[in-house]
């Protein structure tokens, strides 16, 4: 079968950043914007996205692997990713469906590597094993001050009538979250062809427009046939 031309092939876009920066909100809006243009899209998340990866997600986020240390957790995230890539991401891309993932390999680099102190070589080895060439075409890094992002998460808990108990990572100290933010910015700087940093401390509508501007500029085929 002939390969899809570059402009018509399905794209893989990931969203990254700290907690509460608006990844889940914006990935849904991007999905809607793409579907309005008749693009087939699957939205997924990490850790998770397949039944086996979701089982690993529950295990980690309940804190059951915390005492094993960041190296072992990096291996667990990679095991979840391997299944996610093999069962969901790669098959969809092959079938012409765009894939949007709420977090992907940069989260392992930032959380377990740059913030958790896991050796670069281990992170790189796990990455090459789990991705098997399925590197994102575009990574949107939503960036904002962790104090402000935490306020959003706290407000969400109040709105939902929940106590702000937090999962395993949300319980870390604010200084840790500041290092995490620097980690994501460093990853973006090292990968300028793939990553775009967007200021996340703006309204949901303004952020949606900023993300669409980046996506449509990166993939101009999306605007083909659109009214001027």
Interface with ligand Z5A, residue 12, by CB under 6 A: no
The two tokens of residue 128 are 């090459």
Contact (CB, 8 A) for 46 and 109: no
Contacts of 42 (CB under 8 A, 6+ apart): 88, 92, 97, 98, 99, 100
Number of residues lying near ligand Z5A (CB under 6 A): 24
Interface with ligand Z5A, residue 88, by CB under 6 A: no
* The only residue of 3, 203, 225, 227 in contact with ligand Z5A, by rule CB under 6 A: 203
Contact (CB, 8 A) for 70 and 112: yes
Give the CA count within 13 Å in the CB-facing half-sphere of 187: 30
| Residue 98 CB, nearest approach to ligand Z5A (Å) | 19
The two tokens of residue 185 are 């910015």
* The only residue of 12, 13, 14, 20 in contact with ligand Z5A, by rule CB under 6 A: 20
Interface with ligand Z5A, residue 151, by CB under 6 A: no
Could you give phi then psi for residue 13, rounded to 5 degrees? -120, 130
Contacts of 97 (CB under 8 A, 6+ apart): 10, 40, 41, 42
| Residue 51 CB, nearest approach to ligand Z5A (Å) | 17
Nearer to ligand Z5A, 174 or 228 (CB): 174
Distance CA 145, CA 141 (A): 13
Interface with ligand Z5A, residue 146, by CB under 6 A: no
Kindly write out the interface string for residues 32-71 of this chain, putting x where it contacts ligand Z5A by CB under 6 A and - elsewhere.
--------------xx------------------------
| Residue 42 CB, nearest approach to ligand Z5A (Å) | 17
Binding site for ligand Z5A (CB under 6 A): 19-25, 46-47, 77, 103, 107-108, 111-112, 152-153, 156, 167, 169-170, 203-204, 207
């Amino acid at each position: 079968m002939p390969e899809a031309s570059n402009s018509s092939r399905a794209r893989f876009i990931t969203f990254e950043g700290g907690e509460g920066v608006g990844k889940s909100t914006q990935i849904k809006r991007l999905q809607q914007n793409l579907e309005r243009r008749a693009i087939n899209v699957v939205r997924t998340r990490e850790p998770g996205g397949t039944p086996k990866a979701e089982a690993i997600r529950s295990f980690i986020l309940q804190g059951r692997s915390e005492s094993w240390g960041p190296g072992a957790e990096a291996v667990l995230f990679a095991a979840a990713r391997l299944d996610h890539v093999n069962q969901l991401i790669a098959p969809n891309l092959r079938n012409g469906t765009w894939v949007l993932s709420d977090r992907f390999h940069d989260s392992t680099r930032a959380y377990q590597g740059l913030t958790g102190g896991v050796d670069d070589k281990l992170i790189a080895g796990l990455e090459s094993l789990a991705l098997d060439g399925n590197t994102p075409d575009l990574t949107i890094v939503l960036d904002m001050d962790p104090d402000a992002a935490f306020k959003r998460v706290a407000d969400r808990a109040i709105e939902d009538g929940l106590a702000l108990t937090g999962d395993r990572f949300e319980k870390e100290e604010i200084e840790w979250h500041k290092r995490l933010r620097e980690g994501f910015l460093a990853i973006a700087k090292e990968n300028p062809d793939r990553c775009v940093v967007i200021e996340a401390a703006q309204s949901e509508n303004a952020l949606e427009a900023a993300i669409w501007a980046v996506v449509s500029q990166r993939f101009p085929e999306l605007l083909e046939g659109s009214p001027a």
